[in-house]
Amino acid sequence: MPTTPTYAFSRDAGNNRLILLLLSIGFAAVVAAVVAVVVVQKQAERDAYWVEHTLDVEAALNRFVRHAERTETARRGIIIAPTETNFVAIAEKAIADASRELAGLETLVRDNPSQVRSVEGLRLAFDGYARQARTTEAEAKLGILKVGSLDSDATVSAIRHIRTYADEMLRREDALLRQRNQAQDRTRSLLSAMLALCGALIVGVATAAILIIRRNIREIDANRRELHVLNQELESLVDERTAELQRANAEIQRFAYIVSHDLRSPLVNVMGFTSELDAARKVIGEHVLKDGDDVPQTVRLAVEEDLPESIGFIRSSTQKMDRLINAILRLSREGRRTLAPTRVSLADVVQSIVDSLQHRIDETGTRVELGELAVIETDRLAIEQILSNLIENALKYLHPGRPGEIRIASKVAHGRVNITVRDNGRGISPRDHERIFDLFRRSGMQDQPGEGIGLAHVRALAYRLGGLVEVSSEEGQGSTFTVSLPLKFQSGVADA
Amino acid sequence: MPDQLAVNIVMVEDDEGHARLIEKNIRRAGISNAIHHFTDGTSALDYLWNDPHGPAHNGPALVLLDLNLPDMSGLDILSKIKGDAHLRRTPVVVLTTTDDKVEIQRCYDMGCNVYITKPVNYENFAEAIRQLGLFLSVIQVPDAEGAP
């Protein structure tokens, strides 16, 4: 007997839990990686913003320096040609532009305290310079402009201051730009790394999932195959057992047949010579009685009473034995008969049995009622014998002083038919419910002729038809015999 | 009826009691032919074929055959008789306890002339044998050699 696969299933359950856990961890890692990528991406965006910001600051600073230089150029123009008024306009516009750029710069560098200070310095320097430029304009207007050395001009140093501040700021911003570019590069490579990691994780988890699924499918396949093999083994086991049962049954049938035959032979002698003995006794008896009173009383008694009595007992016992042997023979012969399944209308079968018993039914005043009766596929002779035995019994064991009522019906359910023969007869004591199906066993008052064969026969037949017979009964109330048969014929016990 | 008197009855029956009862009842039917009784197959076959007074060498005979014998089946004897050129016309009455249909059919297939089941009830048994006796008194048995 191969081991059952139960343990394999429980091992799988543990494995599956582990696999589920690992897969969950894998998916969690993928989610975490995606979140990390998003975070790094945001960081990269921030870095890009800051790089742009630095570039903006530099651009603004350059624009401011250009406007400042332009102001100086315009002022010099005024100095050279005090009467040319459009230099003044140029100077004013440049001053306004520079101031605007400075204000813009101020807002741009608000985050950086050192640059704020530098911008502050720039403003002071430019404001000073702008004042001098305006003074130059005013003097030119009034014609009191006196031109000294440009080198010693105070504005030159102011411009120089502005340049220095601006250069310093640019330097700082350049440093920042380098820093920020580096940060941006770092973040970018981090992002690539994260993306690669994320991709690797996804590929890994997917591969693992596929591998696990493939393995599970293989295991399921293997289990299915194993199950199939087990099923086949089970089927062959059942076949084997059935064959064994069939052999055992055939053996019993043969045994019963041989025994009953061999028992018959001596019985013929016992009965034959008993008859011969009786014939001899009659001869002696006639001779003895002819002699009249000379015969002693004991001899007369022996011949007239003892001998006939003994012979009578031998005869009745042998006859009983003969009936029993015949019953066994009949059962064994019935067991050897080949069943021929045909479509049988139970209603027809029951009706013909009732017709054959009509005389006895009328005699006892019994009412026989036929309920719904199905059409089934079975051996006609066997079902006839089963039902006629049951109906005859119902008619035989009536309750004294109560008119009999017998009801025969059938009910179909789950591919089987349950045929019930119900009576209101004398009933069967509960302790006899099993016994009555045994050969030569009878129940209750032995006031009816019979050998105790009918129900044994019924049960043997029911088994052969792939069915069962059961009784439910209450003493004094009646009995119900139920025969359960398959709707479609299937041999129960093999033909011997 | 001098023809009938010449017929030997060969009884092959292993049960002494049965043999005695059969003989008694045949005699009661008024049959006085010689009855040769054998309780086993071997000696019966020996008599049938080899005995100078046996049917193979001397005159007509009728065989009463039981099927259940200690050393062989009565069917073996039946097939030997029916397969022999000299003896195949010898009537064989199978007289046995078996009343199995298949067995009866087989006996007739093998050439048995009459098949009788021994009734267990003695009155019926005696009656059957007596009737067999009456039957024997009218039956024409051919010579083994095929002579008239």
CA distance A12 to A139: 102
- Classified by CATH at the fold level, domain B2-138 comes out as Rossmann fold (3.40.50)
Question: Do B122 and A261 lie within an 8 Å CB cutoff?
Answer: no
Res B50: pLDDT: 86
Question: Hey, where are the domains in chain B?
Answer: 2-138
Question: Do B21 and A267 lie within an 8 Å CB cutoff?
Answer: no
CA distance A422 to A5: 48
In this structure, which amino acid lies at residue A28? A
Res A493: pLDDT: 53
Residue of A nearest to B98 (CA): A261
Residue pLDDT tens, chain A, 496 long: 444 444 444 455 677 787 788 888 888 888 888 888 888 889 888 888 888 888 888 898 888 888 888 888 888 888 887 777 788 888 888 888 888 888 888 888 888 888 888 888 888 888 888 888 888 888 888 877 766 555 556 777 777 878 888 888 888 888 888 988 888 888 888 888 888 888 888 888 888 888 888 988 999 999 999 999 999 999 899 888 888 887 887 787 778 777 777 788 888 888 889 988 998 988 888 887 776 667 788 888 888 888 899 999 998 888 888 888 888 887 777 777 788 889 999 999 999 999 999 998 998 889 999 999 999 999 999 999 999 999 999 999 988 888 899 999 999 988 889 999 999 998 898 888 888 888 878 887 788 888 788 898 898 888 888 888 999 998 888 999 999 998 888 765 544 3
Contacts across the A-B interface (CB distance below 8 Å): 50
Convert A260-324 into a string of H (helix), E (strand) and C (coil).
HHHHHHHHHHHHHHHHHHHHHHHHHHHHHHHCHHHCCHHHHHHHHHHHHHHHHHHHHHHHHHHHH
Res A376: pLDDT: 92
In this structure, which amino acid lies at residue B6? A
Res A4: pLDDT: 44
Contact A331, A460 (CB under 8 A): yes
CA distance A193 to A185: 12
Residue A275 falls in which region: left (phi positive, over 0), alpha (psi -120 to 50) or beta: alpha
Q: Report the 10 Å Cβ neighbour count for A97.
A: 17
CA distance B79 to B75: 6
Res A7: pLDDT: 44
In this structure, which amino acid lies at residue A164? T
pLDDT in tens, B68-119: 888 888 899 999 999 988 888 888 999 888 777 888 999 999 999 889 888 7
pLDDT in tens, B27-66: 888 888 889 999 988 999 998 888 877 777 767 888 999 9
Res A495: pLDDT: 44
Please name the residues between 44 and 83 in chain B that touch chain A, using a CB distance below 8 Å. Answer: 68
Contact A473, A492 (CB under 8 A): no
**At a CB cut-off of 8 Å and minimum separation 6, what does A107 contact?**
none
**Distance in Å, alpha carbon of A9 to nearest chain B alpha carbon:** 57
Task: Collect all residues of chain A within an 8 Å Cβ-Cβ radius of residue B98.
Answer: 261
Tell how strand A416-423 and strand A405-413 pair up: antiparallel
A395 by DSSP, 3-state: which? helix
**Distance in Å, alpha carbon of A264 to nearest chain B alpha carbon:** 7
Give first-to-last CA distance, chain A, whole Å: 29
B103 touching A (Cβ < 8 Å): no
Res A292: pLDDT: 67
In this structure, which amino acid lies at residue A408? I
Question: Do B18 and A268 lie within an 8 Å CB cutoff?
Answer: yes
What ipTM does the predicted assembly reach? 0.75
pTM across the whole model:
0.51
Question: Do B122 and A268 lie within an 8 Å CB cutoff?
Answer: yes
Q: What DSSP letter does each residue of B39-103 carry, written as one string? A: SSHHHHHHHHHH-TTSTTTSS-EEEEE-SB-SSSBHHHHHHHHHTSTTTTTS-EEEEES---HHH
Q: Report the 10 Å Cβ neighbour count for A110.
A: 11
Question: Do A269 and B18 lie within an 8 Å CB cutoff?
Answer: yes
CA distance A70 to A76: 10
B109 touching A (Cβ < 8 Å): no
Contact A43, A187 (CB under 8 A): yes
Task: Collect all residues of chain B within an 8 Å Cβ-Cβ radius of residue A274.
Answer: 122
**Distance in Å, alpha carbon of B22 to nearest chain A alpha carbon:** 10
Task: Collect all residues of chain A within an 8 Å Cβ-Cβ radius of residue B19.
Answer: none
Question: Do B21 and A276 lie within an 8 Å CB cutoff?
Answer: yes
Contact A414, A380 (CB under 8 A): no
Burial class (CB in 10 A: 0-12, 13-18, 19+), B43: middle
Nearest to A475 by CA among A442, A439, A428: A428
Please name the residues between 114 and 133 in chain B that touch chain A, using a CB distance below 8 Å. Answer: 118, 120-123, 125-126
Res A129: pLDDT: 83
In the structure, what pLDDT confidence band is assigned to residue B4 with cuts at 50, 70 and 90? very low
Q: Report the 10 Å Cβ neighbour count for A363.
A: 10
Question: Do B120 and A333 lie within an 8 Å CB cutoff?
Answer: no
